[in-house]
Structure 1
């Protein structure tokens, strides 16, 4: 029987344009829990008898900013995540050089920290912030909070929020189009750390018309997708076994 790691290595070696489509499972080995895991934000909210889709929505942010940020701060883990083997391998692969395109559902920017240059963030990121009134951009160290612990813009007193997609918001059309273009023009698609259950992200992979599809996920995908190689293992552990 062919070794799946050897097969994946050969697929990567043969490919010219590699699209990596990643989900929460890519960052769990960096210490960031999956939202739906036992210690994830969704699960924690449900333990408190709160509806995640309501509490993590734009409407809730606007109507109850103090509650929104108090809850958001509770859910933050006191860790400083670092890129794991998957992030580092993909960044190093660019220097081979290989044309590596990363489409991520994560908001942690660990791919960029590792050194990857072409990264499409479907759900935005939690490292950049802006005022909801004037649109002025802020770095984390520039943000000031009022007496209710709400981040406020000193220019117009607008709420400052992270550049992430909340419930009730759509992924930016230009972001979706860019993701479609990169997937459609790749000859190898690696789907990793995601069960592909969330729209519209799950539909993006159907734009792939290249040669090979690889899935690296601890559980099988419940989606109609022709797969050339499936590896049921942690993403980082898989990439540790590969060579550049």
Structure 2
């Protein structure tokens, strides 16, 4: 049985880690390098580093922050935000990232997934899918630009297409659950994990220990991502893993 991964997420804005609800009302949490180093020592399985305003500001991910973070952490580092070309992939991987997460750019140009996978390997290409339930409840649409733009794309169809194009992993965020602390979106996560054969990281809505168990127990996701819970020290990564181990969930302690 594959071990389930616990992944803290660093949402970075202008070089600082921030946290908001549904991507707005951002509060400063601290220095990304120091925070990443702390999570590395705490036993995180990976770290996701998202430059959350790079795309909306039309600028590139801050390479220097990635470089300094990569020097301090010895676990896989996934970086996303403002990555639009194969050259951007190369630059960020060169700076020390292990995987690259693309979202808006993949929706706008799906061939980017294939071109990057052919050049760097599918294991490098993470497609981040932010989804919101349609008003009629018939499914989920893909939203981009930090949740501001509804693409009209069906999230399940998009996940399947991303896999076909060469994506190695999906980072799935429920915009309905994000920041609510009411738990992961089990219905949405289940729908996506059943539709694809690649690892899926569940994101958005985690508020307490039980939520980690719920998402692993009720869906086939491979990893659970959380941000504010860890940033504000409501829980430690070790606490989460020890709790999951007691619940007979396979984790790396």
Q: Give the structure-1-normalised TM-score.
A: 0.32
More strand by share: 2
Q: Larger radius of gyration, structure 1 or 2?
A: 1
Structure of higher RCO (CA pairs closer than 8 Å, 6+ residues apart): 1
